[in-house]
A = this chain, B = another copy of it.
């Protein structure tokens, strides 16, 4: 039979079991953090009618979208989760209760050239709060508070949530007389971190035709080094939108303290613009302080009209997206995935020492009923191979069950960490193992 070379497509993350355990732990913690704030999960299809998925226009991304036909249907595979959300809230509007807090953790696809740490298939974890007609600004403070608790739950401490308000920038542009160029200027400012302020200034005065004085005012504003409220104060009273933005930023700062986000973990950063036109209020970018070169690991903001391609109904919202596969890749690269993320596939391996297996199976069953994760090793291999199996998988306890133990109604347990061996009744040792596992879990996962 001709063999086919087994391979996984480049840019498609596929993990070995121990890494997968860590990834699953991350997802579990994300779900828990989102749930603590009352977000509910949804699970939208990966494939949609191309028309639905591309309704908003994919922009730069559009040429990366996987598309296919089946019968007479033009289908597309989702490249982010927002279009699916817009469809969902419009389609099920009558069944949903607003404000609608949802999270979705799912795979998305982009047919871009695969690079180190960039993926073609990757997980995004999105949270959004969608209002019906209106949405209170308090929600704009809730989102970074969720982010803070997510990153803390992942055992990270060196991260800072950078925040700005698009009203402030749009208002400033009106004050400076460049309001008509607002979208383009936002997109250039958004590149400040990547291309530096000389280059930004060059494009503003070149391509966008700003005067040197206008460009300087923009640059001075977005790169201001002191307390941002000093420079925010400078332009106050000249533009209503600007003034609203400033008071929203002030409220955000106050609320975040009440939400328990320490001021070491967020900063008002007037250079944060976000490239997309549809943001209208607070915008967010989260950076890992020790790895600034990886860029933002989580971004989002407030928008006023989620589903305008589908409905006239106004549905404002605020949300963020975490590029989960990329975040995982970084944690892995930096050696940040430790024992707190990993657990062995089983707590106990039972090695029967007799041909008759009934006692071993019964023991496994009773240990499982007690809440332990148990494997039986029944392959016909040398004793050494059997113990090596537990060792390789880091299974912490091995039970030996021989004639002698069975006749006496006892079992022998080896603690694989200490090497210590104990013989006693199954019920006593089951309880002992369970207590140790729970104590360890509590210490690790608290």
Cross-chain contact B14 with A40 (CB below 8 angstroms): no
Please tell me which stretch of A169-177, A373-381, A417-425, A435-443 contacts chain B, meaning at least 4 of its Cβ atoms lie within 8 angstroms of it.
Answer: A373-381
Cross-chain contact A309 with B1 (CB below 8 angstroms): yes
The smallest C-beta distance from A329 to any residue of chain B, in angstroms, reads 14
Known: A44-B14, A97-B393, A312-B3. A258 touches B345 (CB 8 A): no
Interface presence of A195 (CB below 8 A) = no
Render A230-269 as a binary contact track against B, CB cut-off 8 A, 1 for contact: 0000000000000000000000001100111000000000
A contact residues, total (Cβ < 8 Å): 103
Interface presence of A291 (CB below 8 A) = no
The smallest C-beta distance from A134 to any residue of chain B, in angstroms, reads 7
Known: A15-B42, A68-B67, A255-B358. A376 touches B142 (CB 8 A): yes
The smallest C-beta distance from A249 to any residue of chain B, in angstroms, reads 16
Please tell me which stretch of A5-13, A205-213, A404-412 contacts chain B, meaning at least 4 of its Cβ atoms lie within 8 angstroms of it.
Answer: A5-13
Cross-chain contact A375 with B38 (CB below 8 angstroms): yes
Q: How far is the CA of A15 from the CA of B104 in the complex (A)?
A: 12
Cross-chain contact B91 with A7 (CB below 8 angstroms): yes
Known: A70-B66, A309-B3. A136 touches B380 (CB 8 A): yes
B residues in contact with A389, CB < 8 Å = 97
Interface presence of A131 (CB below 8 A) = yes
Residue of B109, B373, B395 touching A36 (CB-CB under 8 A): B373
Closest to A376 in B: B138
The smallest C-beta distance from A113 to any residue of chain B, in angstroms, reads 9
Interface presence of A46 (CB below 8 A) = yes
Render A38-57 as a binary contact track against B, CB cut-off 8 A, 1 for contact: 11111111111101100100
Cross-chain contact A365 with B14 (CB below 8 angstroms): no
Interface presence of A107 (CB below 8 A) = yes
Interface presence of A182 (CB below 8 A) = no
Residue of B23, B35, B259, B311 touching A365 (CB-CB under 8 A): B259
B residues in contact with A312, CB < 8 Å = 3
B residues in contact with A373, CB < 8 Å = 35-38
Known: A41-B24, A346-B38. A311 touches B3 (CB 8 A): yes
Closest to A15 in B: B43
Q: How far is the CA of A423 from the CA of B147 in the complex (A)?
A: 32
Closest to A309 in B: B4
**Interface set, chain A 352-386, CB cutoff 8 A to B:** 357-358, 361-362, 364-365, 368-369, 372-376, 378-380
Render A126-139 as a binary contact track against B, CB cut-off 8 A, 1 for contact: 00000100111011
Closest to A2 in B: B309
Interface presence of A99 (CB below 8 A) = yes
Closest to A307 in B: B6
Cross-chain contact B379 with A136 (CB below 8 angstroms): yes
Residue of B55, B75, B131 touching A4 (CB-CB under 8 A): B55
Closest to A343 in B: B35
Cross-chain contact B255 with A52 (CB below 8 angstroms): no
Interface presence of A310 (CB below 8 A) = yes
Cross-chain contact B46 with A345 (CB below 8 angstroms): no
B residues in contact with A75, CB < 8 Å = 9, 66
For this complex, 17 residue pairs linking A to B, each with C-beta atoms less than 8 Å apart, are: A3-B310, A6-B90, A7-B49, A13-B45, A17-B40, A35-B373, A36-B374, A38-B346, A47-B109, A68-B68, A136-B380, A138-B361, A138-B378, A142-B376, A255-B357, A255-B361, A258-B358
